[in-house]
A and B are shown apart, each in its own frame.
Chain A
């Protein structure tokens, strides 16, 4: 089955710096790649996603890139702010298994003021 590896598990940056989180997946049939942010004690929230026919997608300070050949995708956060501190999860699913998200183990991002 699909396997998603996420790195790093923890990431500490200074406010204003950039943060990058990387994920690799195993199933070449995967075609949907969402990222979720989970603040302490709260529900995961979808922050951005990318489909397999797109290489990059941006939304203000957040961007996601996808390399289907290498089977990896990354989350980029620029100009980080303390409120970006949270656990970030990458995920993927497959054609025909749309409701089945396979998650990475998460990255705990700390943004120091």
Chain B
């Protein structure tokens, strides 16, 4: 089966800009979760979408948002970028939420 894909793989932005990241889940998977990975904080949960509805949300500011489309593809958006938003953003898909398969991630650098 084709794995989880994420685009773009690398991104450089400046402070104050916004960014949209995309995630295509494994075919048949209805749950997409997003995580932020940094050396200091590790893997932190951002939010989860299931059948186009946000089912869970982590402890991140409102600048971080997401959505899911009818084909289960998901996007996350970060507005008003800050230096501290530099991180690897990972999405993971699953059928119901468990057994999550991760994508390769999008590495975001904010200058």
Contact = CB atoms under 8 A, between A and B. Distances in A.
**Interface majority SS (helix, strand, loop, mixed), chain A:** strand
A102 interface: yes
B58 A45 contact: no
Interface string B42-86: 111100101000011011000000000000000000000000000
A43 B102 contact: yes
Interface string B75-111: 0000000000000001010101111111111000000
Contact of A46 (B44, B59, B100): B100
A98 B43 contact: no
A36 B99 CA distance: 10
A99 B42 contact: no
A93 interface: yes
Interface of B: 31, 33, 35, 42-45, 48, 50, 55-56, 58-59, 90, 92, 94, 96-105
